[in-house]
Amino acid sequence: MTGETILTVPQREDPQRELERHLMAEWSRNLRVGRLNQINAYEREAIIQVQHVNLIYDTRSRSRIFSQHVIPDVAKFTIKASPKEWTIRGPSKQEVIASMRRSQTTTLARSERTLLHTAYSRLVGIPVVQTAFSPLRNILVFLDDRGEIPIASLQRTGKSPERVENYLSLLERLKYTKREGKKIVPGPKFPTEAASREMTDIFDGILANVLEQEYPFILQVLRWTQIVGYLRWLNSYYLTSLLAETRINLPIPDLDWRYCEYYGCGHRSELERRGQLQRVLDTRIIVRRGGGVEGDEEITTRFFENARHDGLVPLAV
């Protein structure tokens, strides 16, 4: 524990109200006492939640959409009675703020996963993602052409043995390839419908499945981080639409603000962020329309459905 908060309140005052007043004034305006649990005749427990009121401007309707969301159980305080005063004890400000941030980070990650599962087939078409995936595509193309690949030939491509092993293990987990001695051959899920479909479409479908199923491995092991910026900009729009509970037309300055609120601006200037946003707009997963940015109708519908299925809790910022 990095510290403790201790407040004393005169017996004539309401300790719950005074605790909430302190939290809102000194820590965050979004903190509230969510509920009280009676422990015994002299002691109770105050459970703290984040309560966020959001006003989201929709350019299309020229109105602000009111949205209120709660993140429960970010902290717990005990309130003890004595003859003259209430004594309130709980975690430090730093601990509570860290708990709020963890909740926000968790919600962002869950929303990203939901969006990834919704739009993976479109994300794989982004040129920079295609470039990152080219080692996997090369293996698949060669395997389709030759029927087998000596593992030794992959190790002569200039990639480290560890990286080659990562590529092979990924494709094996998804059953697109398997090993037979010192070579790899098609696995049970390797496509056999080449005669009726364009191979480009087939391989894009495989890579889309790789992206959907193996995103953590792609980021943490392969370190193909090129997709991160795209996914964060897209999530900044689609999560905000989820908060509004409708497909909104979000002004570009508002989208930029949301991105910085959710992920931080880092050292990027506004000029750099706008350049990155334009590359995201080029994907057509979100589009510029009128004075703002609007989501793809089909993706929005499926994202909302998947978010409800995943039990996604909207973000409080």
Q: Considering the entire predicted model, what is its pTM?
A: 0.83
**Span 272-313, pLDDT tens digits:** 888 889 999 999 999 999 889 999 999 999 999 999 988 886
214 SS3 class: coil
CATH dotted code for 134-222 = 1.10.10
270 phi and psi, to 5 degrees? -60, -35
When pLDDT is cut at 50, 70 and 90, the band that residue 45 belongs to is very high
The position carrying tokens 């708990």 is 99
For the record, the structure tokens of 188 come out as 């049970």
Cβ-based neighbours of 52, under 8 Å, separated by 6 or more: 30, 68, 69, 70, 71, 316, 317
Q: Answer yes or no: is pLDDT of 195 > 60.
A: no
Give the residue-averaged pLDDT of 200-223: 86
Taking the domains of the chain in order of start, what are their residue ranges? 4-95, 134-222, 226-310
